[in-house]
Amino acid sequence: MLEKKIADKIHEIRKNKGLTLAQLGDATGLSKGLLSRIENNQVSPPIATLSKIARGLEVPIGIFFEEDETDREGYAVTYKNDRKQVIRRGTKTGFTYYSLTSLKSRHFIEPFIIRYPVIEKEPNKLFDHPGEEFLLVLKGEMDLVYGKKKIRLKAGDAIHFDPSTPHRGQNAGKEESECLVIVIDEDTLKAKS
Amino acid sequence: MLEKKIADKIHEIRKNKGLTLAQLGDATGLSKGLLSRIENNQVSPPIATLSKIARGLEVPIGIFFEEDETDREGYAVTYKNDRKQVIRRGTKTGFTYYSLTSLKSRHFIEPFIIRYPVIEKEPNKLFDHPGEEFLLVLKGEMDLVYGKKKIRLKAGDAIHFDPSTPHRGQNAGKEESECLVIVIDEDTLKAKS
DNA sequence: CTAAAAAGTTTAATAAAAGAAAAAATGTTT
DNA sequence: AAACATTTTTTCTTTTATTAAACTTTTTAG
């Protein structure tokens, strides 16, 4: 039941922040009695009221509507200096891959570091593949060519995208750029089931 | 204003689906008069009512609270300075999460930046969950407590592991440490098939 | 262990939203 | 442009949320 969860989330966040009903009442302009009944799921507050509560708790209101997060060796460390360079099929475009995992058992996350050298002329090849991809820029500046768009990303920026659209990463600065890439392969997903 | 947006979204989605107020009324069990006033922002409906509308429109209720609709494009950029802090339920352990995605459609990769403050005494809580996890240290030094082991990791080091073993990340130095974490949730995987 | 204080819950009165149906507006056909 | 049909808005009554204050439970202090 949706509102049950909301009630619990409000209660939990309030408690985590060490607030009393009276304090939250002050912060929101709502009576503590009402807050009590909301937390106990006795009333279904209007959006306006929930919005006040979110502001009072200093959380985005969307939190209340997010789906729940579930809650031998089993691991593989890759130390910075032990990164293993990988040759991936069909990547003759100058950049370098380093795998960040050595897990042999079936897994979904495929983590890489990619280094893009400075380029003179823009390549034209684009790649597409089913699955899901995530990229975090670690160093320098780069462009993600994505379909007809070109998205400029700097160190610390991230992008999460559907790789079935033709795309390509490339350096966009005067120094080498580096990024972390996570790929999930559709086939691996299917093999799971 | 929040509710204004919600009203507009309901109207837009309903129109997009080619539904009349009466049809949506049938689908939701609400009167068309009420729906009219909700769309015209004359009332602030309780969550229960909004929930019914979401079901009637066959959309996740969270849609009404999303900031923007980046999803249509197939990608979601998170610029370094726009990282959104996330409150994950049950994390009272001091560290801070930032989500690196705003994709709303079903996805597998859940990317976070986690900041670990310097600690005095070691916490004792461990977390375990089904799925798969990957971690890359971006700054500082940290320990991954994994079952009975403690794995020391420095900037640039990575670990790929099975999160069903109880585990915890924690700072292991004199300055704040930071890491990228990728989680894949088992439930999401199952939902796929 | 008891008293006082703080936190939380319930009660009774008021304000606001929901349902049903009438009125207005919009669109279509002739 | 009139008449009809459909969609939307408004009206009136009923139901529900909200406040303020009384009440109960839990925590703190002596």
Greatest mean pLDDT among A19-23, A87-91, B2-6, B92-96 lies in A19-23
Domain spanning A80-192 has what CATH number?
2.60.120.10
| Separation of alpha carbons B83 and A87, rounded Å | 33
Per-residue model confidence (pLDDT) at position A183: 87
Closest CA to A131 of A192, A68, A178, A67: A192
Residue A139 has pLDDT above 50, yes or no: yes
Of A22-36, A81-95, A165-179, B89-103, the poorest mean pLDDT is in: A81-95
CA A172, CA A153: separation in Å to the nearest integer? 9
What span, in angstroms and rounded, lies between the C-alpha atoms of A2 and A78? 42
Nucleotide whose C1' lies closest to the alpha carbon of residue B33: D9
- Rounded to an integer, the average pLDDT of B90-106 is 65
Asked if B113 and B138 count as a contact pair (C-beta separation under 8 A), the reply is yes
Residue B34 has pLDDT above 90, yes or no: yes
Tell me the shortest Cα–Cα distance from A94 to chain B, in angstroms: 22
Q: Which two tokens stand for residue A69?
A: 């997060």
Type of residue found at A187: D
DSSP H/E element including A113: strand A109-116
Tell me which chain B residues have a C-beta less than 8 angstroms from the C-beta of A51.
2-3
Residue pairs spanning A and B at CB distance below 8 A: 207
Q: First vs last Cα of chain A: how many Å apart?
A: 29
B4 CB neighbours in chain A (<8 A) are none
Tell me what pLDDT residue B117 has. 82
The answer to whether residue A34 scores a pLDDT higher than 90 is yes
Nucleotide closest in space to A31 (CA vs C1'): D19
Q: Do B160 and A79 touch (CB under 8 A)?
A: no
Of the segments A12-21, A39-48, B158-167, which one has the largest average pLDDT value?
A39-48
In the predicted model, what is the mean pLDDT of chain B? 78
How far is residue A108 from each of residues A15, A101, B59, B101, B133, measured CA to CA in Å? 36, 11, 28, 18, 9
Q: Where exactly are the structural domains of chain B?
A: 2-65, 71-192
pLDDT tens digits, A58-83: 887 877 886 532 223 556 666 677 67
Structure tokens at A43: 């009333």
Model pLDDT, residue B86 = 61
Give pLDDT, residue B37: 92
Distance CA B28, CA B37 (A): 15
Task: Check pLDDT > 80 for residue A57.
Answer: yes
Q: Which amino acid is at B26?
A: D
A98 CA to D26 C1' distance (Å): 58
User: How far from each other are the two terminal CA atoms of chain B, in whole angstroms?
Assistant: 39
* Separation CA B58–CA B49 (nearest Å): 14
Residue B179 reports pLDDT greater than 60 = yes
Q: Which nucleotides of D are covered by protein (CB under 7 A)?
A: 6-11, 16-22
Name all contacts of A84-90 with Cβ < 8 Å and 24+ positions apart.
A86/A112, A90/A127
Third-level CATH fold of A2-65: 434 Repressor (Amino-terminal Domain) (1.10.260)
**DSSP letter assigned to residue A116:** E
A145 residue type, one letter: V
Does the pLDDT value for residue B127 go beyond 50?
A: yes
CA angle, corner B175, sides to B183 and B91, nearest 5?
A: 40
Taking CB atoms and an 8 Å limit, are A192 and B193 in contact across chains? yes
Sign of the C-alpha dihedral computed for residues A126, A131, A134 and A139 taken in this order: negative
Q: Is the pLDDT confidence value at A179 over 60?
A: yes
The CA distance from B42 to A48, in Å, is 12
For the beta carbon of residue B155, count every other beta carbon within 10 angstroms: 15
Q: Give residues with Cβ within 8 angstroms of A50, minimum separation 6.
A: A6, A61, A64, B47
CA angle A93, A98, A104 (to 5 degrees): 125
pLDDT tens readout for residues B10-23: 887 888 777 889 88
Query: Distance from residue A34 (CA) to nucleotide C14 (C1'), in Å?
Result: 14
- Cβ contact B142:B95 at 8 Å: no
Closest CA in chain A for residue B62: A65
Amino acid at B155: A
**What CA–CA distance (Å, rounded) separates B74 from B66?**
16
pLDDT of res. B77: 62
The confidence score (pLDDT) of residue A25 equals: 92
Q: Domain spanning B71-192: which CATH class is it, in words?
A: mainly beta
At residue B133 the predicted structure's pLDDT band, cuts being 50, 70 and 90, is confident
Asked if A141 and A172 count as a contact pair (C-beta separation under 8 A), the reply is yes
Q: Looking at A12-16, A72-76, A170-174, which range is the least confident one?
A: A72-76
- Residue B50 CA to nucleotide C6 C1', Å? 36
Strands (E), chain B: 75-78, 84-86, 96-99, 109-116, 131-139, 141-146, 149-154, 158-161, 167-171, 177-185
Q: How far is the CA of B24 from the C1' of D26 (A)?
A: 47
Rounded distance between C-alpha atoms, residue B167 and residue B155, angstroms: 19
The pLDDT of residue B91 is 44
Confidence of residue A35 (pLDDT cuts 50, 70, 90): very high
Which single residue is written with the structure tokens 């050595």?
A102
pLDDT of residue B3: 65
In the predicted model, what is the mean pLDDT of residues B118-137? 80
Protein B87 CA to nucleic acid C3 C1', in Å?
40
Give yes or no for CB of B39 within 7 Å of strand D.
Answer: yes
Cα gap A182→A90, rounded to integer Å? 18
Residue A140 has pLDDT above 80, yes or no: yes
Question: Are A158 and B49 in contact (CB < 8 Å)?
Answer: no
Task: Determine if strand D comes within 7 Å of the CB of B48.
Answer: yes
Contacts of residue B145 in chain A, CB cutoff 8 Å?
A: none
Strand D at less than 7 A from CB of A20: no
Report CB contact under 8 Å: B78, A134: no
Nucleotide nearest residue B18, measured CA to C1': D7
Q: Say yes or no to pLDDT of A86 above 70.
A: no
